Structure 1
Amino acid sequence: MSKIDSATAEELARLKRERDAVVLAHYYVAPEVQAIADYVGDSFALAKLAVSLPQRTLVIAGVQFMGESMKLLNPKKTVLLPEPGADCPMAHMATRDTVEAARAAYGDDLAVVCYVNSTIEVKSWSDVCVTSSNAVKVVRALPQTHILFIPDRNLGRYVAEQVPEKHVLLNDGCCPFHAAIAAREVAELKRAHPQAPVLAHPECTQDVLELADCIGSTAELIAYAQESSADELIVVTMDGVAAEIDRRCGGAKRLFFVDESSCPEMDKITLASVVACLRDGTGEVASPAPEVAERAAATLERMLACAGR
């Protein structure tokens, strides 16, 4: 984990006291941002955690939909995004027309399942939200036979394979950065490091997942790396996770990533932008319209009911 100079650390501590603030960072942001965070995790875990925190100001070092989710679950708190321009392309890759067409075709026997990596508006069109770690459990628990999975076709395809009793309709959306990882590159790493297990996120394409020893959410991949006896690991997700794996393993594991494995949107978030948003109060996330917030929050509550809190 990166070291932070004392002047910056002191300024951050002062600003957090003055604003009654806490900093929460996603696993994919730069190591120096993770280093100054009070909590590091995936998007939904951080949003849930924030509900229990006493601070009135929440700084989320992540992309737009993460700030939206945090505001949705913490409507009375101030939520700040250090870089409001950092956005997740996949979060927007679903249309109302796709949802309405599926509802018209399958009626009450359809559930619209929305990956948490989506905008508040997309969530508001849906019946239930899921994360990459609980998607299979939630879909299996739903009473409907037909499932429209939005917005990520790759996670949707993985879920469909695990729950063959359901008819899963896939949406034409994806994480462009996970989808760009080529099976050829992973196979080359396997040949170079034959003893290294392959850990892959289900946002990757099917041919990549076929090479994996472990498929799981970001948190699950980190936990696997921590618990594995292997000295070398091939990690097929965004390389920001290296900071947390190194922290948990004391730097004892050699980690290998494909050449292009960073999220350029997460890379926009810098230590300087975290300091600036705390200092100036910039990047505040607005509350969504009440009717949209109500419908979107219901999808999260249904997820918790299906998957457990």
Structure 2
Amino acid sequence: YDDLAVVCYINSTAELKKYSDVCVTSSNAVKIVKNLPNKNIFFIPDRNLGHFVAKQCPDKNFIFNNGCCPRHVVITKEMVEKAKAEHPLAKFAAHPECTEDVLELADYVGSTSGIIDYVVDTEADEFIIGTVDGVFNEIRKKAPDKKLYTVKPDQVCVNMKKVTLEKVLDVLENDTNEVFVDKELADHAMKPLNKMLELAAK
């Protein structure tokens, strides 16, 4: 592929970014890919987010990596159908890292911030949330009267939960757990991040 662009999800390692042309978030991935001049897109590492973007960029040729988000891929079509049967008035909002058959059942598909805005701004009173439970607190701050339901009881990202306010404060006050990245690697990893900011501004 002479014009191949490697498009990398932002929550990937610096090593992976080193070999990427541009980074994306779940909220800007479609815009970034559409703004790329390249026809051929190697989307890494999440195949589900890649398929979601590909459907909205039909003029591009996509190559997918066989990776996925371990929190979203375990949400199944059957779980969603069960939740819908239990809460027939509820709208279903899903993250694009869910599988395609789950997204087909959704009333809204979007990033974490997109899901929050959708629930807050939509007139419906009940919502089934197809992403990690961290969004629930933010929604309840903005729309405390909305009724929220999970698809499964443990929609928790254990990796995100490792970062706490106490740990962040400890790092800032005591310089503990400082992470050092090789300068050459950091310089390479910054290039796709800067490219994302450039394309997002268009």
TM over 0.5: yes
SS in 2 for 1:243: helix
Q: 98, 114, 126: which one pairs with 2:20?
A: 126
Q: 120, 125, 134: which one pairs with 1:231?
A: 125
Partner of 1:221: 115
Partner of 1:242: 136
Partner of 1:306: 199
* 1:132-143 correspondence to structure 2 within 5 Å: 132-143=26-37
Note the C-alpha offset of 1:260. Answer: 2.5
Note the C-alpha offset of 1:273. Answer: 3.5
Q: 44, 64, 71: which one pairs with 1:150?
A: 44
Partner of 1:290: 183
How far apart are the structure 1 equivalents of 2:129 and 2:76? 13
Partner of 2:58: 164
Letter in 1 for 2:140: D
Note the C-alpha offset of 1:255. Answer: 0.5
Identity across matched positions, percent: 50
| Count of aligned residue pairs for this structure pair | 201
Cα deviation 1:27-77 (Å, max 9, x = unaligned)? xxxxxxxxxxxxxxxxxxxxxxxxxxxxxxxxxxxxxxxxxxxxxxxxxxx
How far apart are the structure 2 equivalents of 1:193 and 1:281? 48
Cα deviation 1:110-160 (Å, max 9, x = unaligned)? 000111010111111011111111111111111111100011111001111
Note the C-alpha offset of 1:289. Answer: 2.0
Partner of 1:253: 146
Letter in 2 for 1:303: M
Partner of 1:209: 103
Letter in 2 for 1:243: N
Is residue 262 of structure 1 aligned with residue 156 of structure 2? yes
Greater gyration radius: 1
* 1:1-309 correspondence to structure 2 within 5 Å: 106-107=1-2, 109-249=3-143, 251-257=144-150, 258-270=152-164, 272-286=166-180, 288-308=181-201
Structure 1's unaligned 5+ residue stretches are: 1-105
1:269–1:192 Cα change, 3 Å: same
SS in 2 for 1:155: helix
For normalisation by structure 1, the TM-score amounts to 0.62
Cα deviation 1:167-222 (Å, max 9, x = unaligned)? 10000111111111111111111111122111110111111111111111101111
Question: Residues 178 and 237 of structure 1 are in contact (CA less than 8 Å); yes or no, is this contact kept in structure 2?
Answer: yes
1:301–1:278 Cα change, 3 Å: closer
How far apart are the structure 2 equivalents of 1:297 and 1:279? 27
Note the C-alpha offset of 1:239. Answer: 0.5
How far apart are the structure 2 equivalents of 1:134 and 1:299? 14
Note the C-alpha offset of 1:274. Answer: 4.3
Note the C-alpha offset of 1:165. Answer: 0.9
How far apart are the structure 2 equivalents of 1:272 and 1:245? 23
1:117–1:271 Cα change, 3 Å: closer
1:135–1:192 Cα change, 3 Å: same
SS in 1 for 2:32: helix
How far apart are the structure 2 equivalents of 1:269 and 1:300? 22
Note the C-alpha offset of 1:298. Answer: 1.3
Note the C-alpha offset of 1:272. Answer: 4.5
Specify which structure has the higher proportion of helix.
Answer: 1
Question: Residues 116 and 129 of structure 1 are in contact (CA less than 8 Å); yes or no, is this contact kept in structure 2?
Answer: yes
